[in-house]
């Protein structure tokens, strides 16, 4: 296995795709948490008046329970407190938590269904490997970050709750039930006001950190990049696509070259395009060579572009054997080329 220090190349799209198939994506657990709090704020904000009525009814029932029979009290607890608390308050709250978890993950890496993380693997059951993971540098950093985040949130909660307790116990307030409910509402609003912005900032920072760490972990060595390129070139789909692209580029290039040609020399299944401009090029230049289907394509383009053509097997073979594209014609062919150009003035097919 390559040492991490050797992995200096950015991960290729193919490697990132393969990692995604295995469920390996940059993910921050703080994003769903922050989104959960946002949804809870909306939930309490939109339904607080209704929730306050439910809370008041539940609290008013509690003193009445000691004055009635046990079974009546049990029935009343279930009908009023349990139904209102569980089905009226906790169930929508729980559904919001689940929804926030799903949306929070989709926001980070889209819809992903991968079974690799849940497949049992021998190394996960190995105690030694488990200890390595626990005491790895990455895990230590994650633990320190979690402690810092917990400390920040704990300080905020302590400040707000301390204020709320003082208000509840202040002698001047003599807080009754409506007062307690109003103070609870104010306490919850203060908690959201201080905690929500902090959670959102922490979520953004944590996601950026997790993504940076993920991309660092996915880095490749130069050898891995080269091997991947070889593997991709062996893929029949990619090879076919590249072949089609090369053919398209080749045809476009041939068309441009034939347009500038002065003469097209033909042989059976071969064509050589020559470019020459008196006073500009000292000798004709071979701008294109084609055989088989490409030669036929060159003839078609020459006819469309009104480039003169001449059938001369001897000259064609001479140019094929001794000539090279983008170079002057060989010395042995100068006389025959000059004669051919005199016989076929420019503009004559």
For the stretch 63-102, pLDDT in tens is 777 778 777 878 877 777 777 777 777 888 888 888 888 8
Range 104-123 average pLDDT: 75
Range 187-193 average pLDDT: 78
Residue 233 confidence (pLDDT) above 60? no
Range 139-168 average pLDDT: 80
Task: Name the pLDDT band for 349 (thresholds 50, 70, 90).
Answer: very low
The pLDDT of residue 25 is 87
User: Which whole-number Å values give the CA distances from 27 to 8, 12, 175, 209, in the listed order?
Assistant: 22, 19, 46, 10
For the stretch 171-184, pLDDT in tens is 445 566 667 667 77
Cα 253 to Cα 261: distance, rounded to the nearest angstrom? 13
pTM attached to this predicted model: 0.54
Cα 74 to Cα 80: distance, rounded to the nearest angstrom? 10
Mean pLDDT of the chain: 79
What tokens were used for 288?
A: 């294109």
Helices 177-217 and 30-64, axial angle in degrees (round to 10):
160
Q: Which fold has domain 254-343?
A: name from scop (3.40.1690)
In this structure, the chain runs to a length of 349
Task: Name the pLDDT band for 127 (thresholds 50, 70, 90).
Answer: low
Domain boundaries, the chain: 15-219, 254-343
């Amino acid at each position: 296995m390559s040492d991490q220090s050797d992995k200096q190349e950015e991960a290729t799209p193919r490697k990132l795709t393969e990692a995604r198939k295995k469920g390996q994506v940059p993910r921050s657990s703080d994003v769903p948490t922050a989104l959960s709090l946002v949804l809870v704020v909306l939930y309490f904000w939109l339904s607080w008046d209704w929730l306050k009525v439910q809370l008041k009814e539940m609290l008013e029932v509690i003193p009445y329970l000691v004055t009635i029979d046990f079974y009546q009290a049990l029935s009343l607890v279930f009908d009023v407190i349990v139904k209102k608390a569980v089905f009226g308050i906790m169930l929508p709250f729980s559904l919001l938590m689940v929804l926030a978890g799903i949306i929070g993950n989709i926001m980070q890496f889209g819809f992903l269904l991968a079974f690799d993380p849940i497949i049992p693997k021998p190394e996960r059951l190995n105690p030694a490997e488990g200890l390595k993971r626990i005491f790895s540098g990455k895990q230590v950093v994650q633990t320190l970050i979690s402690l810092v985040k917990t400390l920040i949130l704990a300080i905020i909660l302590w400040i707000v709750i301390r204020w709320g307790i003082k208000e509840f116990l202040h002698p001047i307030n003599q807080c009754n039930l409506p007062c307690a409910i109003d103070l609870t509402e104010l306490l919850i609003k203060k908690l959201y006001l201080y905690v929500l912005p902090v959670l959102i900032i922490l979520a953004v920072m944590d996601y950026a950190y997790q993504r940076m760490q993920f991309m660092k972990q996915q880095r490749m060595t130069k050898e891995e990049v080269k091997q991947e390129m070889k593997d991709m070139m062996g893929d029949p789909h990619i090879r076919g696509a590249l072949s089609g692209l090369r053919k398209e580029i080749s045809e476009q290039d041939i068309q441009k070259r034939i347009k500038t040609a002065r003469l097209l020399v033909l042989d059976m299944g071969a064509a050589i395009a020559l470019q020459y401009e008196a006073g500009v090029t000292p000798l004709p230049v071979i701008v294109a060579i084609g055989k088989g289907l490409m030669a036929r394509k060159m003839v078609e383009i020459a006819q469309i572009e009104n480039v003169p053509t001449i059938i001369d097997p001897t000259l064609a073979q001479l140019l094929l054997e001794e000539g090279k594209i983008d170079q002057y014609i060989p010395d042995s062919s100068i006389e025959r080329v000059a004669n051919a150009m005199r016989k076929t003035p420019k503009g004559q097919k």
